[in-house]
Amino acid sequence: MTGNIRLLSDTLAAAKAEGRSALIAYLPAGFPTVDGGIDAIKAVFDGGADVVEVGLPHSDPVLDGPVIQTADDIALRGGVKIADVMRTVREAHEATGKPVLVMTYWNPIDRYGVERFTAELAEAGGAGCILPDLPVQEAGLWREHAAKHDLATVFVVAPSSRDARLAEITAAGSGFVYAASLMGVTGTRESVGAQAQNLVERTRATRADLPVCVGLGVSNAEQAAEVASFADGVIVGSAFVQRMLDAPDTAAGVEAVRELAADLAKGVRRTA
């Protein structure tokens, strides 16, 4: 089976055709359990998310703030494995027909084997991978196998990225570009800031056909609407994870993320 990069591209294009940004949600696999995590992802899709990123829990998540670190720790203590991540991708995609990516640091893939990882992700119906710590100049092996299996390679850009660097990244990437709205780790914030809009504009200037989606800091409909006014996609992670952490049990957490997704989905549609 080949991957779903075309489904991802078509989903982002369909949102654009509606005059709105896509809503992209993030939740880690195995949190609070493997089954509970799958239920939460299905609920987020049901609430209105267009795309979901499944996090591969890592013991040293350098890009992630305390909320996602806490969820990763719960998942790792629960014994989550890469096989559980693949199962999460498969069941979420098969239940909804929507694009599901994996967000992971490079080390787990390197240890698992690039060919094995990409083949299994494609077989599970995955759309691709977001690789926040893989330098584009060292991504040749990954890109070769990702292309072989029709998987998107999503790189992360930051406000500190110079224009020449942005051009290098957009030339190598596929699916979309993940634009970090500010320097720092993931987490909800009072304001997403003007840095994000400037970064989107500079990134688009290097390659107009590759969508630019913004993450880090968005937690409510107002912020989603703000980012949706200039980005192709609005990425929300910590706010979903926090809803799960705050819930008294898994069932309540699943309902909480469904409600948040519905609220955010209204936000990204305000500019339509």
Token pair listed for 227: 């980012």
Residue 72 a catalytic site member: no
Task: Decide if 72 contacts 90 (C-beta within 8 A).
Answer: no
Residue 53 a catalytic site member: yes
Residue 267 CA to residue 126 CA, distance in Å, equals 27
Residue 261 CA to residue 182 CA, distance in Å, equals 23
Q: Which of 53, 84, 150, 232 is catalytic?
A: 53
Please provide the DSSP assignment of the chain as one string: ----HHHHHHHHHHHHHTTSPEEEEEEETTSS-HHHHHHHHHHHHHHT-SEEEEE---SS-TT--HHHHHHHHHHHHTT--HHHHHHHHHHHHHHH---EEEE--HHHHHHH-HHHHHHHHHHTT--EEE-TT--GGG-HHHHHHHHHTT-EEE-EE-TT--HHHHHHHHHH--S-EEEESSSS-S---S---HHHHHHHHHHHHH-TTS-EEEESS--SHHHHHHHHTT-SEEEE-HHHHHHHHHSSSHHHHHHHHHHHHHHHHHHHHTT-
At which residue do the structure tokens 């020449």 appear? 164
- CA separation (Å) from 26 to 16, 101, 149, 175, 272? 20, 9, 23, 16, 23
Q: Which of 50, 64, 84, 232 is catalytic?
A: 64
Q: What are the residue numbers of the active site?
A: 53, 64
